[in-house]
Chains A and B, each alone.
Chain A
Amino acid sequence: MGSLQEAWAAILSHPLFWVGMTLAAYQFGLALYERTKLAVFHPVLVSTPVLVLLIWLAGEDYAHYRDAVSPLLVLLGPATVALAIPLYLNLRRIRSFFWPVVVCLLVGGAFATLMAILLAWLLGAEPMIMMTLAPKSVTSPIAMLVAEQIGGVAALAAVFVMFTGVLGAIFGPWLLRICGVDHPAAWGMAMGMTAHAVGTSRALEEGEEAGAFAALSMSLMGMATALLLPLAVSLWTML
């Protein structure tokens, strides 16, 4: 018969231990979010510090955790490909406002991205942080890939993106009201483009048209950033 300590060590070193902890922490975050309906309690933002604390208490490092949860990590690629389906379905909605959407996407998207880089540079951030902040308006799986591609860090991008989404969902409606934006399509477009999925779920509460345009602009902004930002950065570094 083994001791209690040996049993505990066996549990800790089981290949499924950290997968289980991740599932538990996520459901804790989800329950908190559904109970309160507050954007600050976004499940990713709640479960991340919980897991960081658990890993620290267990005396492990991130590399160990990442290896242990690789069954979850490997799904990120197919999930990114799966973003093509809502994008395709939303594309069919674009017809009525084709030019407004295209102009707003290119001008507004370039403006938002350039401003993030410029502000970070003015405030004296490291180049690594600057490149991680650049894709902060797009949905996490795309932002993580793009950040890594242009010299940033995927993990930080995921957190910056969540933070931006939460800020957008909380202050977006108020900012849009004081700027006199009341057309539902424009309202949704702004929320989806700058606050991705978190902004889109807030726009859905506002109405069907706002929600549809938020979903559309989130998909398009993700696609445009994924295609244009790495291109722009590699042109810039060539100069």
Chain B
Amino acid sequence: MLLRGMTWLIFFQLLGTGLNVLLLPILPGPIIGMVLMVAYLCLRGEVSESISLAAGGLLKYLPLILVPPAVGIMAYGAEIAADATAILLTLAISLAISLPFCGWLMQRMILRQQGRDDS
């Protein structure tokens, strides 16, 4: 079961890689694979047990899979040090503005829709 789901995930990843080289150089292969997987699931109308088992297992350990690439930060010490203030300020300020903005916008849109439904 797990192996069959895993095979599907790898199949879509490889399909994405092929299409990336063939047609869509601006989209990374795994992203194309993900979009195709969503389209496939929409067509099927359900998630088979084997795919949900394999995906669930992989996503459970996603943070662990992300550690090796994050360690790559050690190769960019000089770049980070050069722009440290800009990086920290950008991350903090853009979060402080965009997070409440998204919440406020969503709340306004919901209230507007509810107002229209009532009238």
**Residues of A that sit less than 8 Å from B by CB:** 22-23, 25-26, 42-44, 47-48, 51-52, 55-56, 61-63, 65-66, 69, 72-73, 75-89, 91, 97, 99-101, 103-104, 107-108, 111-112, 115-116, 119-120, 123-126, 128-129, 133, 136-137, 140-142, 144-146, 148-149, 153-156, 158-160, 162-164, 167-168, 171-172, 175-176, 178-183, 185-187, 189-191, 193-195, 223, 226-227, 230-231, 234
Contact = CB atoms under 8 A, between A and B. Distances in A.
B57 to A, nearest CB: 9
- 9 shortest A-B CB distances, which residue pairs? A155-B72, A190-B103, A100-B109, A84-B37, A112-B98, A123-B86, A181-B103, A82-B55, A186-B107
B23 interface: no
B68 A231 contact: no
B47 interface: yes
Where chain B touches its partner, the secondary structure class is helix
A162 B96 CA distance: 16
B28 A146 contact: yes
B31 A84 contact: no
A196 to B, nearest CB: 11
A75 B92 CA distance: 31
B74 interface: yes
